[in-house]
Amino acid sequence: MLSPLAEKLIDEYFNLPFPGVTGVRCPYFNNIRKRSRGQLRALVGKGTPKEIVEESKIISTQYRLGIFENDCSVCKQNLTPDDIRKFMIDHDLGIECSGFVSQVLRAHYRELKGVDFARKIYIYPPSKFLRYLISILRPIENINVQILADDRNSVAVNLGEAASGDIITMLDTHPTKKINHVMLIRDVKDGKIQYVHARTWSSEGKYGHGVMNGTIEIIFPKDNLMAQLWTEKNCNGEQNETFIEAKRAKLLQIRRLKI
Amino acid sequence: MPSAFSVQIFQQSLLFLIGATALAFALAPILTTILYKYKILRKAEFDYTLQGERGVKAGTPVMGGLLVIFVILIITMLFNWDRRYTYVPIGAMAISALLGAADDLLNVFGGKRRLRNIKHSLILIRIHQKWYMKIWHAVTLPWTAFRELTSIFGSKQDRGIQTHEKLFLQFVAGAITAWWVYSKLGQNWHTLWIPFDGSVDVGWLIIPIIIFFVMFTANAVNIADGLDGLVGGSLIMAFLGLAILSWMEGRTAFTPFNMTVIGALIAYTYFNVKPARFQMGDVGSLGLGTLLAINAIAINKTLLLPLLGFIFYIEIFSVILQVFFRRLLGRRLFKMAPLHHHLELIGWNEEKIVMRFWIIQAFVVIVAVWIALR
């Protein structure tokens, strides 16, 4: 199991703390298309649930979008979680895979080992001075899948050794674009790896994506990850887009962070 | 020549105050009628701060600061015109007020402006069909870069005068003041008064110091102008502090001058408290911010400006800190900047913020006067 603080944070991503509305699952947002520079963490897909809700509040207030009551203390009564998710997606609010994993691991290691995960990760060398400086000031924003999968930060482990807090990295999952993905192992029990990640599936359309749980049932312990049974949203095999993405990845590994 | 604490100057200055107040009260209805007639009103669709309870502010006339500017101009030019002392403060105030007026009018009547970024300019330099346009884009490239740089400090604007244009014109106002102080007022003004420590001769360095304070204070007052009565009441206290300091030092031109400003502000604030009959607009806030800085510089109390204009400085520092946190650390320090918007978002009502800011401003001005007396 992850630490209670990390579990609480995951729950908050699944149920964003919007006052007066429950069940708002955090949507997916990746800054790669928008390429905002020097923006708030919550606006580049790296924010905590509280930061994301706070930013939703401010955007709703600034542009009079009617999500919150005038005093901002509570959401409007007639709003459903889907309305709020639609508002968030339309305004580029959400979390991306490495942002989600980094925030959860930060909470996990803070509670477990009393260390700041983001400060322990190798991001840029001091020789790249400007990048190095920015990564010191804004570590979470600069941690991406490649950095998590770097040998200086993590080490590959076998399927049988997988444990909570490990990550599943998928590098180069697209034939032409540089796309990577990361998932966090929440628990391993009864021969099943329970993972959580922030992702987008094409079958879910514009408004269906976000943080999601899934399992990998270990049916062939001596084989690799792709030989196991991946289940997410009651979909297996080719219906499971996470499985498809993993299949396309040039490098698929379970890695343990060197913290 | 009247000396410090002269009863004669005090009596004369009070007369200026009373006259300015009476004139401002007389002109206020005329100004309000003109502003309504020409529909110089605050438009909700361009102003994201007008939501919730603040929505009632939509339709309120802007450019109410003209009242103060006109009264100061009329009274000073008729009764306190002194080529050595008052004409440059009046001139610099007028330049800033004109800049503010242009911004106010463009915000109300102007359309959206098309603004090029550096990338766009670089492409045009490369591919424009006309050679002279290529040269034009190349020559104006530093200006475009300056605009992009300054845009990180302001919210997204597509109407009115842009931040970089404002800064340039404020620099001109600051430079005029610096030239006046350095070359016209004499050797005494090359020294910078240091609280608790006498004075230090800074020579020509007084020029950048003055430019900085004029620009900073003008923008500070401009930024603080967001709640009914806030800037008017706080400026009354700031100029009252300046009037006391000028009177204590026996400055015959500046005591009545500062009292004139207070008189005009009394009438303005009477109409500006919630619910406001009109709002100051940039014409007033930039003009009076510039004047506040110049009048403090002119009595050699430049370094007291952060105390005399305490609320304004706090407001502008809240914006600077917010930009710093946002751009460098990726998070907000305040829910919204400037500070008064943050306080509104955490649930303080407008009256509470304004009253508390007035009280704080009054107290800090008293501290400033005490420091000056040491």
Q: Note whether B330 contacts A70, CB cutoff 8 Å.
A: no
In a domain, A221, yes or no: no
Q: Note whether B331 contacts A41, CB cutoff 8 Å.
A: yes
* H-run or E-run covering A182: strand A181-189
Closest C-alpha to B46, from B115, B101, B104: B104
Q: Is the pLDDT of residue B114 over 80?
A: no
pLDDT of residue B138: 92
DSSP B185: S
Burial of A111 (0-12, 13-18, 19+ CB in 10 A): middle
* pTM, entire model: 0.84
Q: Note whether A54 contacts B332, CB cutoff 8 Å.
A: yes
Helices B65-79 + B7-37 axis angle, to 10: 140
Pick from B51, B332, B347: which is nearest to A64 by CB? Answer: B51
Q: Mean pLDDT over all residues of chain A?
A: 91
Interface test with A, best of B46, B323, B327, B331 (most A CBs within 10 A): B331
Pick from B328, B335, B347: which is nearest to A137 by CB? Answer: B328
Q: Tokens 């001058």 sit at which residue?
A: B257
Q: Is the pLDDT of residue A148 over 80?
A: yes
CB B226 within 8 A of CB B312: no
Q: What is the signed CA dihedral for B2, B6, B8, B12, rounded to 10 degrees?
A: 100
pLDDT of residue B374: 81
pLDDT of residue A37: 76
- What residue in B sits closest to A64 (Cα-Cα)? B51
Q: Is the pLDDT of residue B151 over 80?
A: no
| CA dist., res. B294 & res. B161, Å (int) | 23
pLDDT of residue B330: 87
Task: Enter the tokens of residue B194.
Answer: 């240091």
Q: How many domains does chain A have?
A: 1
Mean pLDDT for the stretch of residues A179-193 = 94
pLDDT of residue A183: 96
In a domain, A18, yes or no: yes
Burial of A53 (0-12, 13-18, 19+ CB in 10 A): buried
Q: Note whether A63 contacts B48, CB cutoff 8 Å.
A: yes
Q: Is the pLDDT of residue A20 over 90?
A: no
Establish, for the pair of chains A and B, how many residue pairs have beta carbons separated by less than 8 Å: 44
* H-run or E-run covering A197: strand A192-199
Helices B281-298 + B230-248 axis angle, to 10: 20
pLDDT tens for each residue of B24-45: 999 999 999 999 999 988 876 5
What is the least distance, in Å, from the CA of B25 to any CA of chain A? 35
pLDDT of residue A102: 96
Q: Which chain B residues are Cβ-neighbours of A54 within 8 angstroms? A: 332, 335
Q: Which chain B residues are Cβ-neighbours of A44 within 8 angstroms? A: 330
- Stretch among A23-27, A181-185, B169-173 having the lowest mean pLDDT: B169-173
pLDDT of residue B346: 85
pLDDT of residue B251: 85
* Pairing relationship of beta strands B191-193 and B199-201 according to DSSP bridges: antiparallel
Could you list the residue range(s) of the whole structural domain that residue A41 is in? 4-90
pLDDT of residue B338: 94
Burial of B139 (0-12, 13-18, 19+ CB in 10 A): exposed
Q: Is the pLDDT of residue B160 over 90?
A: no
Percent of chain B with pLDDT over 90: 56
pLDDT of residue A60: 85
Closest C-alpha to B173, from B219, B228, B205: B219
B119 and A CB contact within 8 Å: no
B326 and A CB contact within 8 Å: yes
Confidence band, pLDDT 50/70/90 cuts, at residue B119: confident
pLDDT tens for each residue of A108-142: 999 999 999 999 999 988 888 988 998 899 999 99
CB A144 within 8 A of CB A180: yes
DSSP A92: T
Domain boundaries, chain B: 7-113+164-373, 115-157
Q: Is the dihedral of CA B224, B230, B232, B236 positive or negative?
A: negative
- Stretch among A165-174, B189-198, B298-307, B331-340 having the lowest mean pLDDT: B189-198
pLDDT tens for each residue of B46-85: 555 555 555 667 788 999 999 999 999 999 999 988 877 8
Report ipTM for this prediction.
0.77
pLDDT of residue B54: 59
End-to-end Cα, chain B, rounded Å:
25
Q: Mean pLDDT over all residues of chain B?
A: 89
Q: Note whether B329 contacts A137, CB cutoff 8 Å.
A: yes
Pick from A38, A41, A61: which is nearest to B51 by CB? Answer: A61
Q: Indicate the SS3 state at residue B296.
A: helix
Q: Which chain B residues are Cβ-neighbours of A58 within 8 angstroms? A: 335-336, 345
